[in-house]
Amino acid sequence: MIQLSQAAKIEIERLKSKQKTNTLVRLAVKPGGCSDLFYDMSFAEVAQTSDRIFEVRGLQVLIDNQSLKYINGLVLDYSEDLMGGGFRFHNPQAIATCSCGNSFAIHQESIVNGQ
């Protein structure tokens, strides 16, 4: 479903250590941004009924059913450069991305056909 690089796992664990105990990582896709959709990462204390829980590199990641269809095959990385650090989303379904790296578009046919 999704993959995390070692660097992304380390950074998520660092951020998670500042949260309450047993906090879960939430990955979602929401409408908006420069290219129609954007990735949203946050922390949650409980899973919602529409969430699926994935074990990725030892981390529990919540993804709601609506977001699942947009992120199949997603690779999440983290890197630092002169401008600071940030998560990098590599989505094989994306047909366009914004220079911010957080906004993307996909073919609507991909959603309907479940690809």
pLDDT digits (tens, 9 = 90+) for 101-113: 677 888 766 554 4
Q: What pTM, to 2 d.p., does this model score?
A: 0.82
- The amino acid occupying position 111 is I
Position 100 scores a pLDDT of 66
Give me the mean pLDDT over the 16-21 stretch: 91
Nearest-angstrom CA–CA distance, 41 and 47: 14
